């Protein structure tokens, strides 16, 4: 079976759960003999990209997509000029500025991409279609998320093959787009979704969310929780000393880092957990810089700057070393997320988690028993939950041990791959 996977690249500037999910899945599929070609879109693939050498050039280069949206001239420029903007050097510059324009400001471009050939990036669709016809005519196309359905459905029509689409956190992008573009994007994405042969959600919770918001019939919607690769993920040998809270995600206000810092400050000033530290990693975008400057300024005013460490590297080996230095992990995302790969990685290392009772977080805690939930609306909810776990090392160790056993049994990338492969095989005739 030949599969083409459309994946939006991030340029490697932050901890991208979708990128890691897709990379691990593609490695596992190739290990089963599936001929997978990755098609990076917007920016190159760099986060956990080991073993993914066989892939297409970057299509829909971020600079070209932006210029074609803003200026009609660039919708007709020759390929040699487009190739310059798609060069590795230019895309590296674009990656450094990623996030400098928020989702709220990108409503028109998001809608244009969802419109496919009716949008402003038609030239890019024609280029990718021609490349696939000449190089990698697939048996099936798999879109990494439903924001790519404008492109994916055009490819399905041209190549006449089944289309699969993964669902993970699209709502967090679309729901901040101002009207009328927000509603138009949801409507267009739902219309394009009617051409998808099968959707794969990463959690039961998110399957329900997107079934309702996109009008997806349940018979076309499967669930395949994210799985990870366990190589070198050894459990923490002993409780961390000094005790340390960890944050593993993009270092962003929108993902709850400010909330965790506030809880840490309250714990330090209460003095109930002696020598407590906070360690933070996961990278950032240009948009996050001002927020992080404010966080560091607050820590200096409280004379806590020496108790907090911002770890620059978050590649696979660095993440494992980071996790093994922690007592607990918390990423208090407002409203929760469709999954929580950081939870699975922490638990695989025997580190318990503390998460808000929102999104798919309760689902993961229920299935692993590897942490505790708190009510994000309760006063001092996060602080009290962290204090409860940090103050009872025996319980924290037991939750970490139980969570690791469950993750090893339920959340391997091989399990995810088998679930996804079953969807593929239901659509492709041998």
The mean pLDDT value of the chain amounts to 90
Domain(s) of CATH 3.40.50.2000: residues in the chain: 2-227+413-427, 244-410
CA distance to 114, 141, 161, per residue, from 153 (Å): 9, 9, 10
Identify the burial level of 50 via C-beta atoms within 10 angstroms of its C-beta, where 0-12 means exposed, 13-18 middle and 19 or more buried: exposed
User: Among residues of the chain, what percentage have pLDDT more than 70?
Assistant: 91
Residue 95 near residue 20, CB atoms below 8 Å: no
390-401 residue pLDDT tens: 999 999 999 999
Superfamily of the domain at 244-410:
Glycogen Phosphorylase B; (3.40.50.2000)
Q: Is the pLDDT of residue 49 over 70?
A: no
CA distance to 27, 68, 224, 260, 388, per residue, from 421 (Å): 13, 36, 10, 38, 42
Q: Which CATH class is domain 2-227+413-427?
A: alpha beta
What is the three-class DSSP state of 46?
coil
Residue 121 near residue 65, CB atoms below 8 Å: yes
Mean pLDDT for 99-111 is: 71
- pTM given for the model: 0.92
CA distance to 176, 339, 352, 392, 400, per residue, from 189 (Å): 16, 21, 37, 47, 40
What confidence tier does 81 reach under pLDDT thresholds 50, 70, 90? confident
Q: Is the pLDDT of residue 100 over 50?
A: no
Q: Indicate the range of 31-45, 274-288, 412-426 predicted with least confidence.
A: 31-45
145-192 residue pLDDT tens: 999 999 999 999 999 999 999 999 999 999 999 999 999 999 999 999
225-257 residue pLDDT tens: 999 999 878 888 777 889 999 999 999 999 999
Mean pLDDT for 321-344 is: 97
Provide the edge-to-edge strand list for the sheet that holds 353-356: 308-311, 277-281, 244-248, 328-329, 353-356, 371-374
Q: Indicate the range of 88-92, 135-139, 301-305, 414-418 predicted with least confidence.
A: 88-92
């Amino acid at each position: 079976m030949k599969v083409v996977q459309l994946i939006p690249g991030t340029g490697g500037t932050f901890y991208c759960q979708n990128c890691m999910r897709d990379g691990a899945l593609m490695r596992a599929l190739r290990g089963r003999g599936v001929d997978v070609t990755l098609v990076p879109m917007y920016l190159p693939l760099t986060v956990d990209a080991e073993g993914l050498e066989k892939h297409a050039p970057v299509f829909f280069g971020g600079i070209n997509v932006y210029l074609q949206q803003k200026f009609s001239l660039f919708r007709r420029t020759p390929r040699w000029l487009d190739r310059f903007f798609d060069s590795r050097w230019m895309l590296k510059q674009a990656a450094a500025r990623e996030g400098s324009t928020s989702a709220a400001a990108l409503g028109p471009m998001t809608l244009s991409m969802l419109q496919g050939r009716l949008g402003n990036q038609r030239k890019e669709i024609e280029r990718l279609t021609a490349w696939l016809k000449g190089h990698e005519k697939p048996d099936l196309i798999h879109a990494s998320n439903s924001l790519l359905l404008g492109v994916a459905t055009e490819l399905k029509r041209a190549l006449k093959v089944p289309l699969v689409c993964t669902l993970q956190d699209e709502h967090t992008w679309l729901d901040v787009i101002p009207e009328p573009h927000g509603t138009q994007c949801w409507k267009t994405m739902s219309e394009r979704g009617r051409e998808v042969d099968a959707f794969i959600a990463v959690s039961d919770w998110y399957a329900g969310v997107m079934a309702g918001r996109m009008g997806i019939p349940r018979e076309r919607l499967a669930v395949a929780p994210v799985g990870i690769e366990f190589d070198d993920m050894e459990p923490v040998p002993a409780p961390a000393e000094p005790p340390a809270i960890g944050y593993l995600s993009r270092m962003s206000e929108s993902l709850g880092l400010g909330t965790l810092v506030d809880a840490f400050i309250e714990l330090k000033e209460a003095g109930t957990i002696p020598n407590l530290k906070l360690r933070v990693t996961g990278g950032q975008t240009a948009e996050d810089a001002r927020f992080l400057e404010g966080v560091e300024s607050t820590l200096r005013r409280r004379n806590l700057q020496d108790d907090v460490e911002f770890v620059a590297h978050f590649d696979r080996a660095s993440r494992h070393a980071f996790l093994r230095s922690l007592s607990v992990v918390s990423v208090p995302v407002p409203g929760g997320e469709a999954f929580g790969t950081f939870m699975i990685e922490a638990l695989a290392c025997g580190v318990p988690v503390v998460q808000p009772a929102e999104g798919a977080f309760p689902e993961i805690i229920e299935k692993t028993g590897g942490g505790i939930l708190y009510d994000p609306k309760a006063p001092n909810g996060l602080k009290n939950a962290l204090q409860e776990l940090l103050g009872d090392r025996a319980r924290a160790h037991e939750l970490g041990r139980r969570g690791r056993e469950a993750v090893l049994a339920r959340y391997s990338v091989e399990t995810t791959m088998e679930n996804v492969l079953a969807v593929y095989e239901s659509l492709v005739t041998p």
